[in-house]
Structure 1
Amino acid sequence: MSDAIDAMDLKLLRELKENSRENIATLSKKLGIPRTTVHYRIKKLINEGIIEKFTIKPNYKKLNLGTTAFILARYDPEFGLSQREVAKKIAQIEGVHEVHIIAGEWDLLIKIRASSAEEIGKVVVDKLREVKGVGQTVTMVSFVTVKEEL
């Protein structure tokens, strides 16, 4: 980074995380700094790659995707694919929202959203387990999400 971020940049980031559509005049009032300064700081955070993009947070229940599950998977090198290649293939499956290569007893952590536990089961059995390079899996369905950030 060309300039280090300071406490005001962190406050601005928190405000934008809460509502990325907040207008500059409102941000200026909340932060107690001039609008031109808010504008400059946002541009700086974008140019330095601290803000990668502005996005939305969907209401998954209203989209009929209210059931979330986390799947732990073991990587099986038998098929000649790298762990990264397997992760990329998994990421292409409809319903998969996150894929992480992790350390520990398991190799991959996968987040799936669907309309029901039954639908998640279909994704796991019919699609995920069919990916060459996926070994054993364990599925954990979430009862309730207490905190989730973008």
Structure 2
Amino acid sequence: MGEVLDKIDLKLLEELKKNARENIAALSKKLGIPRTTVHYRIKKLVEEGVIEKFTIKPNYKKLNLGTTAFILARYDPDSGLTQREVAERVATINGVYEVHIIAGEWDLLIKVRAASAEDIGKIVIDKLREIKGIDQTVTMVSFVTVKEDV
């Protein structure tokens, strides 16, 4: 397979992103290549680290986690912690789904999920703002998710 993915690899990845449980025979038919080739290519994509894991996409509304918010946070350099250490502590909070160290006016972008805006507030006030190294936050609640890739 080498360093560059070809069109078949990219199509295979797209199909697996849509449904990682798709069986080899169905993928073979969709891509127009033999089943053994599909199996070999998936194995190579995993071995080369292109596919890190196979996972699920939960329906968060049915799990009573239908409210999503994005939080911008400023890092306090006087905290005695590195920005990465602060981000790693944030990542351990229940309800936090993503933590990104970003460039610009803010230092962290955090994605959280909860049952309600009130519960998001509890995460921010009672947990996030209590972490040493978090200086300031701005919370933006999402009205609707138009596209979300996993």
Q: Shorter-chain TM-score: what band? A: over 0.9
Equivalent position amino acid for 1:109 in 2: L
Structure-2 separation of matches of 1:145 and 1:4: 32
Secondary structure of the residue aligned to 2:59 is coil
Task: Classify 1:145/1:133 alpha carbon distance in 2 versus 1 (closer, same or farther; 3 Å).
Answer: same
- Tell me how far apart the structure 2 counterparts of residues 113 and 47 of structure 1 sit (CA, whole Å): 32
* Structure 1 residue runs of 4 or more that deviate by more than 2 Å after TM superposition: 1-4
Q: Which residue of 2 aligns with 1:83?
A: 83
SS of alignment partner, residue 97 of structure 2: strand
Partner in structure 2 of residue 69 of structure 1:
69
Question: In 1, Cα distance between the equivalents of 2:24 and 2:110?
Answer: 37
What TM-score results when the alignment is normalised by the length of structure 2?
Answer: 0.98
Is 1:9 aligned to 2:9, yes or no? yes
Matched, 1:55 2:58: no
Secondary structure of 1:74 counterpart: strand
How far apart are 1:77 and its partner, in Å?
Answer: 1.5
Query: Residues 89-136 of structure 1, C-alpha deviation per residue, up to 9 Å, x if partnerless?
Result: 000000000000000000000000000000000000000000000011
* Equivalent runs, 1:32-43 vs 2, <5 Å: 32-43=32-43
The root-mean-square deviation of aligned C-alpha atoms, in Å, is 0.9
**Distance in 2 between the 1:7 and 1:138 partners?**
42
Percent of pairs with identical residues: 79
Q: Which amino acid aligns with 1:76?
A: D
Q: Distance in 1 between matches of 2:136 and 2:36?
A: 55
In the alignment of these two chains, the number of paired residues is: 150
Residue 112 of structure 1 aligns to a residue in which SS?
A: strand
TM-score scaled to structure 1, two decimals? 0.98
Provide structure 1 residue ranges, at least 5 long, that are not aligned to the other structure.
none
